[in-house]
Amino acid sequence: MSETAAMTAEAKPKMAVSETDVAIEIVGMNKWYGDFHVLKDINLKVMRGERIVVCGPSGSGKSTMIRCINRLEEHQKGDIIVDGITLTNDLKRIDEIRREVGMVFQHFNLFPHLTILENCTLAPIWVRKMPKKQAEEVAMHYLERVKIPEQALKYPGQLSGGQQQRVAIARSLCMNPRIMLFDEPTSALDPEMIKEVLDVMVGLAEEGMTMLCVTHEMGFARQVANRVIFMDAGQIVEENAPEPFFTNPQHERTQLFLSQILH
Amino acid sequence: MAATDVHYVRDEMAPVLPPPAASGGLLGWMRANLFSSLGNTALTLVGVLILWLLFEPLIRFALIDAVWTGANREACLGHHGACWPYVADYFSQFIYGRYPLGERWRVDIVFAAFAFGLVPLLVPSAPLKRANVIFMLVVFPVAAYFLLTGGFGMEIVETANWGGLLVTLVIAVTGIVASLPLGIVLALGRRSQMPVVRLASVVFIEFWRGVPLITVLFMSSVMLPLFLPEGVTFDKLLRALIGVALFASAYMAEVVRGGLQAIPKGQYEGAMALGLRYWQMMGLIIMPQALKMVIPGIVNTFIGLFKDTTLVLIIGLFDLLGQIQSSYTDPTWATPTQSHTGYLFAAAIYWTFCFSMSRYSIFMEKRLHTGHKR
Ligand SMILES: Nc1ncnc2c1ncn2[C@@H]1O[C@H](COP(=O)(O)OP(=O)(O)O)[C@@H](O)[C@H]1O
Ligand SMILES: [Mg+2]
């Protein structure tokens, strides 16, 4: 605990959050699955360089919310503005946003028929039209950053879960995104592999990446988050800086949730 | 006393050893797999007996009692085995049908070019894949078309004169080459978000799957001319080709759709989140995995198609089987064993082609297998 606190004190000043530059703005967003009202009046503003952790019980709509940001899900009411681009049905804008927003999934979603290197070079080559050689250099750079360059020619099925998730992060980074979304990146991992993935994410945070992370790793939240958001039943229930959020939760639902995950 | 609390501490790490050698050789394998128990031994003996009962007469007919030389029926009369000189005499007709004798070199070139293009295409390590594919999909079909039909100073050969293995291969290869891409497009159409595209695909697929191939062929040869304006003729072989290709593509579409359904949603999301467009996602991520998964089904359809080509006989085209059957009317070789010999020959050729496809698909499946499945 004291170690984390020391790291927090050390790491935080390095991460500059912009005062004026808005990365993501969600205004009055609502979404329904059929008759089921999944997201209710979501309002959220993420500044450039800001790191936000989203937590909440299963089924509360966390995944749905961040998947709306890169249009894996369509919202029905309200506005989502990413990097100054308003999300509409316009395919061109959706493509533009997806190019700027990287996403890491709970189940990695690597492409099993391609090697690790090909997984990483695919989008730069086909979406960014980067020459193959350059794309491979970029890919190797990021694979080194996530500490698995030696696995480049293997297939995803030959790697451990932690390694696969690090590849997934590298694959996103190869597109040089300005914003990264994480949807429970460590929930499908064996305990001993969680740290290697969190370390990579902490590294990213320290470099000033704008991050929106759905996670229940509270140590990670304390270490890197500027704000923690608690969702329940499709709404944002509480929002606070990590220290007060964990030590002094206001809403009773937050208290209940925290008491359950922190024992 | 504290030391006794520890029950066991390893003081030397176990060395890494090579795996034990596979035991046994042929005898060991037989003992383990065929004679491991009383029941297994009994099954093995029954199996051997059945094989013997099946294959002994076949081998006797095809090899031991067979007649190998002769000029006409006299040689084979009174023998109970296959009449191979008849097949030898008719061999070129079984291959070319009534293709003019002096022009058969053109067919030979087509066969040779086909083999020349196909073999390196099938060998994964062969170089120049791109050039190879272009050759097979563009150069070869065009060249084959002109070589077989004529033009550019070559004598025109009506398709009515084509026959034998030539017709079988033309129909089968065209059907195979056309049905895969068509089937893919139809499968994608059936899963499309656009209602019109989806409906059109469903109607197409269900129509062609709902009618027997014989009906399709009859319709194309009997009904179609009624709808065409007076004087317009439409080559009979071409009509059969189109019928077979569309028929096979409907089946192919359903096979491919099965593969598409097995791809987890996460693969689509992973691809979309990276910014891939629909066709990029389908072509680079979804289709390669879906097709790989349904290789057995695809090859199954190919094999079915290859054998279904024999149905063109009923619209008056002479494929390999038709050509063999038509030779039965020749009094020169009329003997009691003639038809058996002919059918045996036909079966051997069909089996060779189909079995090769099957083996190749197994090879490809193994090769495309990546990583450990759990
Ligand atoms: N495609 C869908 N169709 C219908 N309901 C869905 C769909 N996806 C999610 N839901 C429902 O929406 C709610 C929120 O889901 P989700 O965003 O995945 O929650 P979380 O990520 O917080 O666990 C859940 O009740 C879930 O059952
Ligand atoms: Mg979720």
The per-residue pLDDT for range A198-233, each reduced to its tens digit, is 999 999 999 999 999 999 999 999 999 999 999 999
| pLDDT at position B84 | 92
| Cβ–ligand 1 contact at A215 (below 6 Å) | no
User: Under 8 Å CB-to-CB from A184, ≥6 apart: which residues?
Assistant: A63, A106, A214, A215, A216
Q: How confident is the model over B289-294, as a mean pLDDT?
A: 92
Q: Do A111 and B285 touch (CB under 8 A)?
A: yes
Q: Do A105 and B285 touch (CB under 8 A)?
A: no
Question: Whole-angstrom Cα distance, residue B58 to residue B62?
Answer: 6
As a whole number of Å, the end-to-end CA separation of chain A is 16
Q: Looking at the predicted complex, does its ipTM rise above 0.85?
A: yes
**pLDDT tier at A1, thresholds 50, 70, 90:** very low
Tell me the sheet residues that pair with B361.
Answer: none
- Identify the structural domains of chain B with CATH numbers, from first to last: 73-99+157-254+296-368 (1.10.3720.10)
Query: Which ligand number lies closest to the CA of residue A231?
Result: 1
pTM for the model stands at 0.85
**Spacing, Cα B293 to ligand 2 middle (Å):** 29
| pLDDT at position A10 | 46
Q: How confident is the model over B22-50, as a mean pLDDT?
A: 86
Shortest Cα distance, chain B CAs vs residue A156, angstroms: 7
Predicted confidence (pLDDT) at residue B255 exceeds the cutoff of 60: yes
Classified by CATH at the fold level, domain A22-260 comes out as Rossmann fold (3.40.50)
Shortest Cα distance, chain A CAs vs residue B124, angstroms: 16
Is A19:A47 a contact under the CB 8 Å cutoff?
Answer: yes
CB nearest to B371's CB, from A98, A112, A122 = A112
Predicted confidence (pLDDT) at residue A4 exceeds the cutoff of 50: no
| pLDDT at position B171 | 94
Q: How confident is the model over A133-144, as a mean pLDDT?
A: 95
Question: What does chain B come to in residues?
Answer: 374
Range in A69-78, A186-195, B25-34, B134-143 the model is least confident about: B25-34
Beta-carbon pairs below 8 A across chains A and B:
70
| pLDDT at position B4 | 61
User: Under 8 Å CB-to-CB from B247, ≥6 apart: which residues?
Assistant: B208, B213, B216, B308
Of A31, A35, A36, which is best to mutate to test ligand 1, by the most ligand atoms within 8 angstroms of its C-beta? A36
Question: Whole-angstrom Cα distance, residue A29 to residue B304?
Answer: 54
Contacts of B272 in chain A (CB under 8 A): 70, 72, 98
Optimal mutation site among B269, B274, B374, interface A, most CBs of chain A within 10 A: B274
Torsion of CA B326, B329, B334, B338, to 10 degrees: 20
| pLDDT at position A9 | 43
| Cβ–ligand 1 contact at A244 (below 6 Å) | no
Instruction: Record the tokens describing residue B101, joined without a space.
Output: 């004798």
| pLDDT at position A91 | 86
**pLDDT tier at B18, thresholds 50, 70, 90:** confident
The per-residue pLDDT for range A107-127, each reduced to its tens digit, is 999 999 999 999 999 999 999
**pLDDT tier at B226, thresholds 50, 70, 90:** confident
Kindly give the number of the ligand 1 atom that is closest to the alpha carbon of A65.
17
| Cβ–ligand 1 contact at A31 (below 6 Å) | no
User: Under 8 Å CB-to-CB from B243, ≥6 apart: which residues?
Assistant: B213, B216, B217, B219, B220
| pLDDT at position B72 | 86
| pLDDT at position B371 | 63
